[in-house]
Structure 1
Amino acid sequence: MSTTPTINWSEDGSDRSDQPTRSARWHSESAMPPPRRVVAADDRMKAATAYQLACEGRALLWQGDFHNARQLLRAMGRRIDRKSNPTRPDATPTESFHLHRRARGHRARVLGRLLVLLEDDHSLSLRRAPDVRRACTEAYGPPRGERAVSLTELLGVVGAHQWRERGVEVPALGAGSGAGDRIHPHYGVFSPVRGEYIDLAAQAPLPANPRTAFDLGTGTGVLAAVLARRGLSHVVATDISPRALACARENADRLGLADRIEVTGPALYPEGRADLVVCNPPWLPARPTSTVEQGVYDPDGTMLHGFLHGLAAHLNPGGEGWLVLSDLPEHLGLRTREALLTAITTAGLRVTGRLDTSPRHPRARDTTDPLHRARAAEVTSLWRLMPD
């Protein structure tokens, strides 16, 4: 029988086992285990001390000023960055990728040891703390008592709430106006901030007289919305994530497309066949370390291969599949072009066309990025596939 994970701490700032302690439920979206040793911390704690304690494995439950906690977090981050050297001059692209991931993981673990306590209504009892109740309810659901979370996670929750409120403008949804409409991502659902892959789906030639489409792994529902705006009368959008399903339904409603878009899951393929099947799987064949990373990392290319091997059985005669994929894994040595083409052939498919585009995001131009060379060479493609 499983028990709810908790943390324990002493109000006197020590982690001695003989002192009276308090406890609270522990929550981590990245499935980090609860820290074994927790000390109370406030505005008197210096960044050097906080950094040393966090590196030793102690978690710091913050009880001081909220803005001072954010400043402490930034100061700890600068210390990590100064001591971190995630690249080597002689490293291969694959080694650079794994070194970069390891450095980011270490940074996340250390910074994740600065904790805050959410009260039983999701509020923060800290000086100058913002009202985070709505953001936490969106991410975590209704309050169920006190819970301790890392400050980095809470800041992510607040940032996601702001994205959800503002939305992301998608020019491809402008229906000819040029202004575009907005997609509102939920917490834990990958935001469509990279518009080049959306533009590919908006520009690719459609099969003859298409009426139905499947959007596999829909996320925010942005590609389903693009297809509906292009004239598809029935688009079935699937996802395995409950958060993504709720997000896609809400966006379909906001855009006035609920009568054309059916959101269903959890599954990769829905029942039946379609004239067009679109899939934009996570691009990197590696293991995600958090909920949000599930939109980027696909362990062993599971979703990619699931799409390919199920495509022929879910297409109407004359239909085609669109695979939207970056070649960044090829530049990083995580997958070869030959392996991708072999997977397509093995699934009984043939390539009938391909549209390419280059990245427009700032990281492709950031020469300080350890993976800059690979990012600068990246090409995102829409592969048009049909049964062989």
Structure 2
Amino acid sequence: MTTSADDPAHVHWAQEDIPASALWRSANGAPAPSSVVPVDDTITADAAYRLASQGVAMLWSGDFQNARQILTALEHRTRPRPDKSQRTTGELFYRYRQNRSHRARILGLLLVPMQAGNIIGLRRAPDVVAATVDAYGSISEASVVSLHEVLGTIGAHQWRTKGIPVAALNASIYPHYGTFFPVRSEYVDLVATAPLAAPNLAFDIGTGTGVLAAVLATRGVPRVIATDIEPRAVASARETMAQLGLSKRVEVQLGDLFPEGRADLIVCNPPWIPATAHSLLDAAVYDPGSRMLKGFLAGVRDHLQPGGEVWLVLSDFAELVGLRSRDDLLKVIDAAGLRVIGVLDAPAVHARATDASDSLHAVRANEVTSLWRLCAS
């Protein structure tokens, strides 16, 4: 059965020739599958993979743990095969993105039912209430969700419960689902150590969890205004400030790029890869057409106090895979009426930089994150 154009929020299928439907939910913005068939413990991994490869979603009605085993089998079948061909870094990145997109599509097609109260109505299903409330809110009617996404909410909830240590803050933060977790320390450490000329007001644009705004406040900036376009990020950042006792000094606003007024220091760590985001979570890393980077640089001078400074924190990953050149970046900076007064670099220290099994290992090992200090030219 298909999802009708005038009913995009529901999925439809036939159970023993009886039409059925339920609300479609996706925390990552995935569209409702257009074709759904019921399956149970009798389906084989090969049959499941054939259906998924044809774009057919499978609504599971058997044992939850068996569904996880099928998902694991699908993950195995979508792993990239060893490629001994001599390829450019650009070609390797293209293949990497292709595989990620393929995996996401295949793995997202194994579905489970969720009842009112955020309960998965399957045998041996775990308690996912707390994790899925973070992602979907409270569910009050029969719904269908991707099993792969549900498992992701469980992992994110574990991170949120455990907390992520941030050395620059000498504390842990507890991000909301859907915000970019600051598990990479390079960009945080750069903001924590860059020369700071006692600004009265700082803006943190695209704050995410609020970690950079918090670092600025703990370094003595008396007032910080942090913005983000995503409501989840705003809620997460506000919670971060309350937890760290910084709510009176850091104001978090919902908005695209700049708040009103001018600041002495404006900081931005935009998504660093100019490519299409395939999910809401991807949007923290992928910036199609460098929209945020170019928008930030084009507008920042109008929000900068005379004599003020701009800190642009950016990885050179896009340069290493041929998606943007250093000259391209310098031209955008110059066109914005800005000039470079200094660059601080930090080599990659995150776990993926040492993973030799990663097809992009050579790129990640050579990646450098830079804090570009800019001022009006």
Q: Which letter maps to 2:192?
A: A
Aligned partners of 2:25 and 2:136 also within 8 Å = no
Q: Which letter maps to 1:332?
A: V
What does residue range 68-217 of structure 1 map to in structure 2 within 5 Å? 68-81=66-79, 84-85=80-81, 89-173=85-169, 180-207=170-197, 209-217=198-206
What does residue range 279-294 of structure 1 map to in structure 2 within 5 Å? 279-294=268-283
Partner SS for 1:21: strand
Change (3 A) 1:87 1:293: farther
Match of 2:237 among 239, 248, 251: 248
Per the TM alignment, residue 320 of structure 1 is displaced from its structure 2 partner at its CA by 0.2
Per the TM alignment, residue 5 of structure 1 is displaced from its structure 2 partner at its CA by 2.4
Per the TM alignment, residue 29 of structure 1 is displaced from its structure 2 partner at its CA by 3.5
1:296-343 deviations in Å (ceiling 9; x for gaps): 001111111111112222122221010000001000000000000111
RMSD: 1.5
1:322 corresponds to which residue? 311
Are residues 1:301 and 2:297 paired?
Answer: no
The gaps in structure 1 that reach 5 residues or longer are 13-18, 174-179
Are residues 1:6 and 2:17 paired?
Answer: no
Change (3 A) 1:223 1:86: farther
1:214-259 deviations in Å (ceiling 9; x for gaps): 0000000000000000001100000000111111001100110000
What does residue range 11-90 of structure 1 map to in structure 2 within 5 Å? 11-12=15-16, 19-81=17-79, 84-85=80-81, 89-90=85-86
Partner SS for 1:307: helix
2:251 corresponds to which residue? 262
Q: Which letter maps to 2:48?
A: A
Per the TM alignment, residue 379 of structure 1 is displaced from its structure 2 partner at its CA by 0.4
Q: Which letter maps to 1:126?
A: L
The gaps in structure 2 that reach 5 residues or longer are none
Per the TM alignment, residue 267 of structure 1 is displaced from its structure 2 partner at its CA by 2.1
Q: TM-score, normalised by structure 1?
A: 0.93
Per the TM alignment, residue 86 of structure 1 is displaced from its structure 2 partner at its CA by 8.0
Partner SS for 1:277: strand
CA distance in 2, matches of 1:387, 1:87: 47
1:176 corresponds to which residue? none
CA distance in 2, matches of 1:68, 1:316: 60
Per the TM alignment, residue 28 of structure 1 is displaced from its structure 2 partner at its CA by 2.6
CA distance in 2, matches of 1:295, 1:88: 31
Larger mean Cα displacement after TM superposition, 327-336 or 61-70 = 61-70
Per the TM alignment, residue 381 of structure 1 is displaced from its structure 2 partner at its CA by 0.4
Q: TM-score, normalised by structure 2?
A: 0.95
1:374 corresponds to which residue? 363
Aligned partners of 1:279 and 1:324 also within 8 Å = yes
Partner SS for 2:15: coil
CA distance in 1, matches of 2:231, 2:261: 22
Change (3 A) 1:91 1:75: same
Aligned partners of 2:92 and 2:359 also within 8 Å = yes
Aligned partners of 1:63 and 1:126 also within 8 Å = yes
Per the TM alignment, residue 67 of structure 1 is displaced from its structure 2 partner at its CA by 1.7
Partner SS for 2:119: coil
Per the TM alignment, residue 183 of structure 1 is displaced from its structure 2 partner at its CA by 1.4
% identical aligned pairs: 53
Tell me the number of residue pairs that the alignment of Structure 1 and Structure 2 aligns: 373
